[in-house]
Amino acid sequence: MKSNKTIKWGIIGLGKIAHQFATDLAKVTNAELYAVASRTQEKADNFSQKFNPEVGYDSYEKLVRDPQVDAIYIATPHSLHKGNTLLCLQNKKAVLCEKPFAMNLQEVEEMITIAKENDVLLMEALWTHFLPHYNYVLELLKSEKFGSIKKLEADFGFKLAFDLNNRLFNKEVGGGSLLDIGIYPIFAALSTLGNPDSINANATFFENKADSSCDIVFNYKDAKAVLKSTLLEETKTEAIFTLTNAIVKVNSRFHEPSTVTIITDGKEETLDFGYNTIGYSYEIEHFNQLLRDGKKESDIMTFDFSKNLIKTLDTVRKIIGLEY
Ligand SMILES: NC(=O)c1ccc[n+]([C@@H]2O[C@H](COP(=O)([O-])OP(=O)(O)OC[C@H]3O[C@@H](n4cnc5c(N)ncnc54)[C@H](OP(=O)(O)O)[C@@H]3O)[C@@H](O)[C@H]2O)c1
C-alpha cells in the first residue's frame, strides 16, 4: 500500500459510539468514511445525512462485500463483536473492533485465529492505549523517576435509570458494568502493574442478573490495585497512582482525553495535552498506518494484550458469578 494511501473506512452498527468515531475520522488526514451499514436503511440514511459517506447500506453483509472498503470499524454491542468481526475477516476486510473485543477468551482466540488464517489486520479499539496523556503516564511509571507503584486506585461510574432497551443493561447483548466500563480500570492495572498474583472481587446485580457494580482488588507482591465499576452512581473516574516518591493522578475522566497531575515534595503540577479531537483519532491514525505498512497486528494493542485483558475479565466474572 502507498505510504499516503487514503484509507476507505466502513462502520458497522450506527449507534452512539459510531457517531463519535465518524466525527473524529473526519479530522484524520488520508482517511475517509466511505460507507456505513445499519440493520435498517432509515438509520443508514440518517447517519449518512450527518456524515456524508458515499454509501449507506441496510445490511452489514453488503458493506463487507464492497470491494472499495479497506477497513471496518465494528460498533455493535459486545455479544455481536465476534460474529461481526468474523464476517469482515472472512471477506478480507481489516477490522478495528470496539472493546470488549468479545465476550470471553475463547471468542477472542477464534477471532485472532481467523484473522491469521485470512492474513488480515485485526485490532481491539481500546482507545485509551493510544491517548498521549495515558502514554505519558505509562512512560513516566516505567522510568521509575518517582520510584515504583505502591497503589493504584481507578474507578469508572455513572448513574442511569435501568432500561432493558439500553444495551448497557441488557444481558442478552453483554450488558452490565464490568465488561462495559470496568474494563478501563482493569486496563489501567494491567498496562502498568501487569498481571496480579491474586484477585478479590464483589459485585451487585440488577434483577436480570447483569452486574450493576463491581469492586475488584488486584494483589501484587509489593502493590495493590483497587478498582471499581458502577452503573449506580457517579464516581470521579480517575486513575491515581501512589508511587514511592510521588502521586500521579490521571484526572477525570482518565480513560478519555484528560490531564495528568503530579504531586511530589508538596508541589503540584498539572500537564495539559492540548487535545483537539474527541480522542478516537489516535487509534484511527495508528490503525491506518498499520494498514499502509501491511501489518496484521498492532504493536501497541497486541493480540497478547487483548487476550490477557479478556482473560482477566473472565477471571473476575468467575469470582463474582457473572455468566453470559
Ligand atoms: N471506546 C469507547 O469510548 C466506547 C464508548 C461507548 C461504547 N463503546 C463500545 O461500542 C459498542 C457499541 O456501543 P454504543 O454505546 O454505541 O451502543 P449503541 O448506541 O446501542 O449502538 C450499538 C449499535 O449496534 C447495532 N446493533 C446490532 N444488533 C443490535 C442489537 N441486537 N441490539 C442493539 N444494537 C444492535 C445497532 O446499529 P444498527 O441499528 O445501525 O445496526 C446499534 O445502534 C459496545 O461494545 C461498547 O462497549 C466504546
Reply yes or no on domain 7-128+283-294 having CATH 3.40.50.720: yes
Supply the CATH classification number for the domain 132-272. Answer: 3.30.360.10
All three cell numbers of 91, joined, read 471477506
Q: How far is the CA of 100 from the centre of ligand 1 (A)?
A: 12
Which strand ranges, in their side-by-side order, compose the sheet holding 239-243?
198-205, 211-219, 224-230, 149-157, 239-243, 247-250, 260-264, 267-271
**pTM for the model:** 0.98
Q: Please list the pLDDT of the chain residue by residue as tens digits (324 residues).
A: 777 889 999 999 999 999 999 999 999 999 999 999 999 999 999 999 999 999 999 999 999 999 999 999 999 999 999 999 999 999 999 999 999 999 999 999 999 999 999 999 999 999 999 999 999 999 999 999 999 999 999 999 999 999 999 999 999 999 999 999 999 999 999 999 999 999 999 999 999 999 999 999 999 999 999 999 999 999 999 999 999 999 999 999 999 999 999 999 989 999 999 999 999 999 999 999 999 999 999 999 999 999 999 999 999 999 999 999
C-beta of 39 in contact with ligand 1 (< 6 A): yes
Which residues of the chain does CATH 3.40.50.720 include?
A: 7-128+283-294
Would the CB of 83 count as within 6 Å of ligand 1? no
Instruction: Kindly report, as residue ranges, where domains of CATH 3.30.360.10 are found in the chain.
Output: 132-272
**Is the dihedral angle over the CA atoms 268, 274, 280, 281 positive or is it negative?**
negative
Given the CA of residue 79, which atom of ligand 1 is nearest to it? 45
43 C-beta closer than 6 A to ligand 1: yes
* Ligand 1 atom, smallest distance to 81 CA: 45
State whether the beta carbon of 75 lies less than 6 angstroms from ligand 1: yes
pLDDT at 1: 72
Given the DSSP bridges, would you call strands 260-264 and 247-250 parallel, antiparallel or unpaired?
antiparallel
Q: If you take atom 21 of ligand 1, which residue's CA is the nearest one?
A: 15
Distance 9 CA to ligand 1 centre (A): 17
- Grid coordinates in use for 109? 482466540
Decide whether any atom of ligand 1 lies within 6 Å of the 76 Cβ.
yes
Ligand 1 atom closest to the Cα of residue 18 is: 16
